[in-house]
Amino acid sequence: MIKGKKVGRLKRKEKKQLTLEHRKFYNLIRAEGQRILIENITGRKIMKSGKNSKKIIVSVCMVVGLLIIGCRSINVPLINYRPVLSGDLNLYKGKSVYLMNFDNQANNTSIWYYYSPDKKFSYATKDTLHNYFWYSFRNALTTIGMGVSNVDNPDYTAPAMWVTLLSITDEQYQVRVTVQKKGVTVLAEQYTITEPPLEEKDRELSFLEQRAYRMTNRLIGTILGDQAFQEVLTKH
């Protein structure tokens, strides 16, 4: 809880910086704060049990989390990704792939965001983080001429592929790509791409956004250019 202020009353400037995920938490905290305030005014005993006490502690922790991450982190929206791939990728043209759901196991991300190492910037789309990468891969594979099916309309005759996010920041992407054929894993390979740290003066939002798209394209291009991946995906 902020000293000298009621729970839920953040400065207008700070409140505007809260991203969608944090606003949901903020509304929950505000409702809890109002309940506690009413109970104080009406003379009701708040801490009737250990359970109520825990709820108050959780609310305070959520406020602290909001202030540290929500207010200080500047959001970089990732809503304009377009695949830009280089190299000879004609061997993929006309091939099919069953693009399964992606998995986020990166402990340095949330469901919705990934961050700069210093947590000053967060990156997000209107969807979950693993879906940002799923749609990026889908669009890239379609662009190079592949037929892409998904869990809603799967092509079980095609190689099944998914990506597991292992570590994602705005300086490094680390993922594991798994490919199966007829239920048997034929590839489980890690891929990493990095970008050098930026000077503070260069951390401008539009530049950071384009840098993130470039990293996404580099990741996809690195995977598509890997000979082991090419063999399992193009040779049936």
Q: Does the pLDDT value for residue 6 go beyond 50?
A: no
How high is the pLDDT of residue 194? 98
Burial of 201 (C-beta count, 10 Å sphere; 0-12/13-18/19+): exposed
pLDDT class of 235 with cuts at 50, 70, 90: confident
Question: What share of the chain in percent tops pLDDT 90?
Answer: 67
Question: What share of the chain in percent tops pLDDT 70?
Answer: 69
pLDDT class of 73 with cuts at 50, 70, 90: confident
pTM strictly above 0.85: no
Spell out the residues 6+ positions from residue 206 whose beta carbon is closer than 8 angstroms to its own.
Answer: none
pLDDT, tens digit, 9 for 90 and up, residues 90-148: 999 999 999 999 999 999 999 999 999 999 999 999 999 999 999 999 999 999 999 99
pLDDT, tens digit, 9 for 90 and up, residues 206-234: 999 999 999 999 999 999 999 999 999 99
43: which 2 tokens?
């003379």
**Residue ranges per structural domain of the chain:** 12-72, 76-234
- Given the candidates 3.30.70.980, 3.40.50.300, 1.10.1060.10, 3.40.50.10610, the CATH classification of the domain at 76-234 is 3.40.50.10610
Q: What are the phi and psi torsion angles at 126 (to 5°)?
A: -85, 5
pLDDT, tens digit, 9 for 90 and up, residues 136-159: 999 999 999 999 999 999 999 999
Rounded alpha-carbon distances, angstroms, from residue 66 to 13, 106, 166, 168: 14, 21, 25, 21
